[in-house]
Amino acid sequence: MEYKMGILGIVFFLLLVGCKKDWDEHYDSQPVTSNINVWEALQKEESVSSFVGYLKQYQYDTLFLTTNTFTIFAPDNEAFSQFLEADSVTIRLLDYHISTFFIQSTSIVGKRKIQTLAEKYALFDNIGTGLLLDDIPLDFESPLYKNGKYFIMSQVAIPRLNLYEYIASTNPVLKNYIDSQDSIDIDKELSIPIGFDEQGNTIYDTVPIIRNIFEEEFFPVSEEYRNKTATIVFPKEDNYNAALTAMAQSMNAGYQDYLDIPLDWQNDILIPYLLERGVFENMLEREEFLRKSINDTVKLKNILGDSVVIDYQPGEKTICSNGYAYNYSNFTIPDTLYESPVRFEGEELLKTIGASRFAWEPGVTVTSDIVFPAVQEFIKSASNDSILKVNFSRGYTGRYKLEFNIDNLFPRRFLMVFRTIMRVGGVFEIYANDQLIRTFDYAEYSVNRGIIYSVTGKRYIPTAEGYNKFDCWLETLTEYGKAKIRIEYKGPSTLSLNGLVIDYIEFIPYD
């Protein structure tokens, strides 16, 4: 019995030592607790008396007497002295330094967004070697009081802009682009049926709702969430305009600076290109964009789920309330966006209206004495696996005119190249901005044994599937996006079936 009691005594001693060890380790890493109000404790800190004074001035003392829990981030007196040299204290500023949530630093690893009284999210970061709030070091962490705790910091934290507010302040072109994506829909749940029209369709007393297509596709930059963030890499206004000026001066279009580059081109080509390569989920650090060696290629998955090659370096980083915003370290516009050929697929003129049923896109004008259906025919040998095809009746001699606009061409000289199937054709006239630039008879295909001569002197060689090309000069453009193309049927060819086939039309800059 004595032996058993001795064993139990040894076990109890070991448990007591182990518990004391765990207890000591807890208090070595955690400040001791105190059963007083955090506001009472904060007022005793002489180093933050300026902050306390402003809290009293704006009557925050009554707030801390409630049963709520608080975490207070108190800038020291020197921080307030420096801040007041250029700015002033507001309720919004003070609210940003107070959270109604208890922040236990040891339970946070890495970054955590915390909501403040200002209804803004601040970024709390436990980097292992120290604590940060919006990248500002937290120099002191208080004990745990009965209704919260406080931290002391050597800099005043400025309420962070959200990504939309940041964009609005740094690049109005991107801000205007985002605003232009607003769309008005009808909220059918809130709209009230008030009757029927002559066709029996319900008429609503409508309640409109505005949705933003950009925010739906990419990221809701104007909203703030606890667990939802994004990273946006986009050049600031000065960098953006400088790159546009360099682009303008490199083109043979009579442009001088960024003011000459049309906004339509920026909205249609440049900005979507940059967004696809510059918007990502979560807060990405700069290191994730960098190559490990000069021979490496960096690929990241963008917010759309596509893998994109990172061929730039992010520059200045700005912490926003709902993500990171990076400027470019050196922004240039790839000349492939404006010097490369522009390819227009024939099937882009059509829209699908049913199974194997098609109609012309809005803006396409067809004039014909007889209605001939246009189809999108799927062929693997075509450039985009499909062609535009219109079959005419045998020997048709009536009218057929197809007119459409090409909206993304700069005013310069182009070689306009048609790829088509030569066994279906006729005699056609090609017009650009109402000026005749080429007459082409498909019989030339057989007369020249399949070889078509370019206006440049080179030869186009037919493919086994019957494709070939013919071309002409396009020199009538005076404004961006003002290329009106008309293809006019003049009659049947002697050596081909009647009809119109367009695989693609390519516009090649030609200086």
CB count in 10 Å sphere of residue 354: 7
Residue 423 has pLDDT above 50, yes or no: yes
Q: How far apart are CA 15 and CA 18, in angstroms?
A: 5
As a whole number, mean pLDDT of residues 259-287 equals 95
Ramachandran region, residue 238 (left: φ > 0; alpha: ψ -120 to 50; beta: rest): alpha
Which secondary structure element, helix H or strand E, spans residue 374, and what is its range? strand 374-378
**Which residues, including other chains, have CB under 8 Å from residue 287's CB and lie 6 or more apart?**
none
Instruction: Output the CA torsion 433→438→439→444 (10° steps).
Output: -150
Highest-confidence segment of 74-78, 404-408, 496-500? 74-78
Residue 19 has pLDDT above 50, yes or no: no
Q: How far apart are CA 489 and CA 336, in angstroms?
A: 35
For 302-339, how does the pLDDT look when each residue is reduced to its tens digit (9 = 90+)? 999 999 999 999 999 999 989 999 999 999 999 999 99
Q: Determine the pLDDT at residue 207.
A: 54
Ramachandran region, residue 148 (left: φ > 0; alpha: ψ -120 to 50; beta: rest): left
Q: How far apart are CA 154 and CA 79, in angstroms?
A: 5
As a whole number, mean pLDDT of residues 82-87 equals 92
Residue 407 has pLDDT above 70, yes or no: yes
Q: Which two tokens stand for residue 220?
A: 């809701």
Residue 504 has pLDDT above 80, yes or no: yes
Q: Determine the pLDDT at residue 4.
A: 45
Angle between helix 237-250 and helix 172-179 axes, rounded to 10 deg: 90
Q: What angle do CA 445, 450, 453 make, to 5 degrees?
A: 75
Angle between helix 163-170 and helix 172-179 axes, rounded to 10 deg: 130
pLDDT-derived band at 106, boundaries 50, 70, 90? confident
In a 13 Å sphere around the CA of 196, the CA atoms on its Cβ side amount to 4
Q: Which two tokens stand for residue 272?
A: 């979507």
What percent of the chain shows pLDDT beyond 90?
Answer: 67
Q: Determine the pLDDT at residue 456.
A: 95
Q: How far apart are CA 209 and CA 432, in angstroms?
A: 42
CA nearest neighbour of 328 among 218, 231, 229, 239: 239
Residue 376 has pLDDT above 70, yes or no: yes
**For residue 345, which amino acid is it?**
E
Ranges 123-127, 207-211, 215-219: which has the least confidence: 207-211
Q: How far apart are CA 48 and CA 76, in angstroms?
A: 4
Residue 203 has pLDDT above 70, yes or no: no
Q: Determine the pLDDT at residue 224.
A: 86
pTM of the model: 0.75
pLDDT-derived band at 85, boundaries 50, 70, 90? very high
CB count in 10 Å sphere of residue 130: 10
Q: Which two tokens stand for residue 75?
A: 């800038």
As a whole number, mean pLDDT of residues 147-165 equals 94
pLDDT-derived band at 510, boundaries 50, 70, 90? confident
Which secondary structure element, helix H or strand E, spans residue 320, and what is its range? strand 314-320
Q: Which residue has the tokens 């290109």?
A: 273
As a whole number, mean pLDDT of residues 405-413 equals 91
CA nearest neighbour of 314 among 292, 285, 293: 285
**For residue 404, which amino acid is it?**
F
- Ordered DSSP codes for 92-110: HHHHHTEESS---GGG--E
As a whole number, mean pLDDT of residues 358-385 equals 94
Q: Which residue has the tokens 């309640």?
A: 207
Q: Which two tokens stand for residue 55?
A: 């809290």
Residue 185 has pLDDT above 80, yes or no: no
Domains in the chain, please, with CATH?
Answer: 33-153 (2.30.180.10), 182-336 (no CATH), 342-509 (2.60.120.260)
